[in-house]
Amino acid sequence: MSRNLMGIYTIWLRDVRRFWRDRPRIIGATIQPALFLFLLGTGLGRGIAGAFGNGIRGDYLTFIYPGIIGMSILFTSIFSAISIVWDREIGFLKEVMVAPIARWAVAVGKAFGGSTVAVFQGSLMLIFAPFINVHITPAIVITLIPLIFLIAFSITSIGIVVAARMHSMQGFQIIMNFLVLPMFFLSGAMFPITNLPRWMGILVAINPLTYGVDALRGVILGFSNYSLIANMSIISGFGIAMIIAAMIIFGRTE
């Protein structure tokens, strides 16, 4: 067992090290959400001024801010998980697969690595708070970190399940179009989810990120559709199911 714990730690350490070293990636992953927030947010906010009033305090920019943090977590987590496919292409995955640790430990190490990186990247979004008049207290930060970790862990696990059987990066576009973008659009990050057509409401309800964004909004802005406990339970449940699936899929040998 200690051997597998060491394996998890080793794989985690590699991911964190690589992330820390890849400054262009960190900058890119910070600028992209900033564009959504300040350009799309400002423009859209002006265009639909007045349409937002009921039940939403503050303006549109404030409303989407937690959603943009959610987006940052989503993208960072998925990219971390998909790096497995890249590792397979460059041959490095073999080095991990023949190491004397259980295969499930590889999946768990990857999930922890992706979550840690996403916590860092998600927390980095907090630097935008002063520009949109959101006041972040230390208490909020203390609640946010484990929350972000939980959301990231669930999403990284989904990514690992997908990446476990992918043999080339060519499938990446498919993942973007059929998994990442729908998860983002259907999470309530950019609009309220209370007044949607029925089919869309169902999709929103089965999207784990919905509960993540709702929880983030609750903690940062003080209003949400569900309680923090409910949100965190749903994310945790989903995360546990996904990491178990990832461990099983990863454990199989040809």
Nearer to another protein, 21 or 135 (CB): 21
φ, ψ (nearest 5 deg) of residue 245: -60, -45
Best CA proximity match to 82, nearest among 182, 170, 191, 212: 170
CB 152 within 8 A of CB 69: no
Q: Report the nearest approach of another protein to the CB of residue 5 (Å).
A: 11
To the nearest whole angstrom, how small is the minimum distance from the Cβ of residue 7 to another protein? 6
Number of neighbours of residue 237 by Cβ within 10 angstroms: 13
Nearer to another protein by Cβ, of 10 and 42: the residue is 10
How far is 26 from 76, CA to CA, in rounded Å?
Answer: 10
Kindly state the smallest distance separating residue 8's Cβ from another protein, in Å: 11
Residues in contact with another protein by CB under 8 A are: 3, 6-7, 9-10, 13-14, 17-18, 21-22, 87, 89-92, 94-102, 253-254
Shortest distance, position 248 Cβ to another protein, whole Å? 16
Q: What separation, in Å, do the N-terminal and C-terminal C-alpha atoms of the chain show? A: 24
Q: What are 252's two structure tokens?
A: 């199989």
Residue 199: both structure tokens together: 């089919």
The pair of three-digit structure tokens given for residue 167, joined into one six-digit string: 């043999």
Comparing CB distances to another protein, the nearer of 3 and 165 is 3
Work out how close the CB of 29 gets to another protein at its nearest, in angstroms, rounded to a whole number: 16
Q: How far is the CB of 216 from another protein (least distance, A)?
A: 31
| 3-state secondary structure at position 24 | helix
Q: Measured from the CB atom, is 168 or 194 closer to another protein? A: 168
CA distance readout (Å), 195 to 2, 45, 186, 199, 204 = 51, 18, 13, 12, 12
